[in-house]
Amino acid sequence: MGLHEEIYEQPLVLGRLLESQLDTVQRIAAAIKKADIDYIFLTARGTSDHAGLYAKYLWGMVNQLPVALAAPSHFSVYKQPPRLNRAAVVGISQSGQSPDIVSVLAEGRRQGALTVAITNAPDSPLAENADHVLDISAGPEKAVAATKTYTAQLMAIGMLSAALCENNQMFERLQQVPAQVQEMLALDASIRQITERYRYMTHCVVLGRGYNYATAFEWSLKLKELTYVVANPYSPADFQHGPIAIVEEGFPVLAVAPQGAVRENLQALLQRLKDELRAELLILSNDEATLDLAHTPLKLPKEMPEWVSPLVSIIPAQLYCYHLTLAKGWDAEAPRGLKKVTETK
């Protein structure tokens, strides 16, 4: 099974996760509430770290739980960890193998903190150091570029948020995600045609804010690891504090801008990029006025709350990266210099 097939597995994976892990999610939420914590201390690397960015926004806003993203070298290299006794320590990892991520959970357990592993490997070292394990149930992921494990991690984070606030409407909304992911997969052929326009792209920026700040980082990573395009992710606010100076006529700007609290702000920036700087705009959105600004518009589902959108908006981005890789003549199954499991210390 290759990358393209794993992208297509995502509706099944997400539906299975919703069905199989509900009891586990509710037990973990109950344990977190019982522990009376002050904050979440979250550790991850790579794609899983981008899932952590989503958790930072979702758990912070919906559940009023501050989320601190760990610097694993505090634990693995410097051996000077912070105090964690008032935290729930959460590790997110597809493989559960990386020693630096494992070291954070091990230290959290040593200090008496509640520890949780969100992983696709429930028998991994990460899971062994966790009081609670949330198996994302994605099945074997053979492709080097993570796709289905990323969206499954996002789904697990969303389920935990709903369980923590005992919100059945959130669970009902998550139940609609597999069908919306399937809807995005129907864009496959049109996205393949679109990528010919970007065949010779060597650099770009990817914009996203709020919940989709995570999407910008994940889209950027997939571009780098598969297509070798120098792709830098920014929030619109950070982008205007200096990096916008790199934009000239024809410079590619990729943006994820669904309806929600940050859409108006992002749309204003995209308008400027088009009218004043004449950038090349590829936009993911479900807002017609925003899509009208794009040279290349990709339409997201209309009825989609902003907090859910990262689970859906990443699908056309994954397909775009896959087809652009092939258009450039690269092998999507063997990105240079990479392997499936990266064990950092």
Among residues 33, 79, 142, 340, which one is catalytic?
340
306: which 2 tokens?
A: 């902003």
Both tokens of 91, joined, read: 């590790």
Count how many residues are written for the chain: 345
In the numeric block, which tokens belong to residue 151? 């969206």
Cα three-residue angle 137-146-182, rounded to 5 degrees:
70
Give the Cα-Cα-Cα angle 5, 6, 10 (nearest 5 degrees): 115
The single-letter code of the amino acid at 103 is S
Angle between helix axes 213-222 and 46-62 (nearest 10 degrees) is 170
SS3 of 10-23: HHHHHHHHHHHCHH
Please indicate whether residue 340 is annotated as part of the active site. Answer: yes
Question: Which 8-state DSSP code applies to residue 75?
Answer: H
Strand partners, 282: 254, 296
- Report the alpha-carbon distance of residue 29 to residue 88 in Å, rounded: 11
Smallest Cα–Cα separation from 332: which of 174, 197, 223? 223
Given phi > 0 = left and psi -120 to 50 = alpha, else beta, which region is 103?
alpha
The DSSP string of 97-113 is --HHHHHHHHHHHHTT-
Residues involved in catalysis? 340
